[in-house]
Structure 1
Amino acid sequence: MQVISSGGKMASQWLQTDSTRIFGERLDVVVGECYTSPRIRVDGEKVAIETLRKSENYQGLVRSSSSILRLCNDLATYTAEREKGDAPSSIDCYMQEHDTNEEESREAVRDLIVETWKKMNKDAYDRCRLPRSFTNSAMNLGRISHCLYQNGDGISAPNQEKKYQINSLFLEPILVKGSEN
């Protein structure tokens, strides 16, 4: 919980002082470890956090899946958040650090997402000793991030198509031929 609190505090300070941090520093602050319980349940399997942390792949998977979520969100919400005066996004940080325009920065963020997927795939499948349920959950967070933020903000401002996608993927039962329900 301390990681999350300190990250929120730093982001708040940046907003109050109207400062934009370097690209990598922003990712380090906004992408933190999300697990505060000593045990988590992944697909019905109890997994001790300490067991996960001992694996060399754990930090990479958590960081990669969280980074993909953050970067997809930044791509989808950048314009609306800038108009509201929200804290600088990764696009702002990249523009300032590399003296680029918005489109060049967006392209760099897309490239980083691709590179992060490559790293996450390697961490998930290359000599990974983590429970498969955990690696699948990390991979699914990345996949869901793309689904929610593809073609706009599927969380704060979902359009009709996005509402339909979310409803049909997550809320409506899938009818299987031959099932008796």
Structure 2
Amino acid sequence: MQQLVWGYKKKASWQMGEEVPRFEDYMSYAVINSTCYLLLSSSFMGMESVTKEYYEWLNSEPKIVKAIGHYGRYMNDIASFQVCLLATSIDCYMKEHGVSKQEAVDKFVELAEDCWMTMNEERVLATLPSHDIIERVLNYARVTYVTFNHGEDGFTNPENVLRPHIIALFKDPITIISF
């Protein structure tokens, strides 16, 4: 909690133009402040298989969840940094490394791909909770992929980005026949 309060104070000074943070500092705050942990923990509610240990696992900031949080931040900022009035991680990266917007975006695409690699490695190699919990965690990353794919912001432009997916899911679903 103390780190979150520190983060809000730092972000306020960053947004008021008092300072531009180092990229690493911004990202450590941005992942904590993202909705990743909140949404994942709330998605566990109502699952019969979830125990206190799963919440403790999530609270331990496992590598797979950190990767998902970073992935979401990278994808969100790629999609929204040009229209965002506030400083983004791309702005921090550009200033710290002296690169153009395109070079920063290219680096963020690479960082996002690295996050996918980490998620896949953790799913295969690490000791993780049950299959249904891991699927729930990975589904969060999949939603991020759909929402911000191709540098488009599905929250800002849902008609063009999310609408086709929603129509495919509910209006024109694929029927799966099991034997």
TM-score, length-scaled by structure 2? 0.79
Shift in CA distance, 135/9, structure 1 to aligned 2, threshold 3 Å: farther
Structure with higher helix content: 2
Instruction: Give the structure 2 partner of residue 80 of structure 1.
Output: 83
Matches for 1:11-160 after TM superposition, within 5 Å = 11-32=11-32, 34-35=37-38, 41=44, 44-54=47-57, 59-81=62-84, 85-86=85-86, 88-151=87-150, 152-158=152-158, 160=159
What letter is aligned with 1:28? S
What letter is aligned with 2:109? R
Question: Does the 8 A contact of 1:43 with 1:133 survive in 2?
Answer: no
Question: Does the 8 A contact of 2:40 with 2:140 survive in 1?
Answer: no
Count residues with an aligned counterpart: 173
Shift in CA distance, 177/169, structure 1 to aligned 2, threshold 3 Å: closer
Question: In the TM superposition, what whole-angstrom CA distance separates every residue of 1:113-169 from its partner, at most 9, and x where no partner exists?
Answer: 1111111111122132312122112212222112111241110233x3324224225
TM-score, length-scaled by structure 1? 0.78
Distance 1:43 1:119 in 2: 28
Shift in CA distance, 13/125, structure 1 to aligned 2, threshold 3 Å: same
Matches for 1:5-16 after TM superposition, within 5 Å = 5-16=5-16
Question: Does the 8 A contact of 1:95 with 1:105 survive in 2?
Answer: yes
Instruction: Answer with 43-52 or 119-128: which moved more.
Output: 43-52
Gaps of 5+ in 1: none
Root-mean-square deviation (CA, aligned residues, Å) is: 3.1
Distance 1:169 1:44 in 2: 27
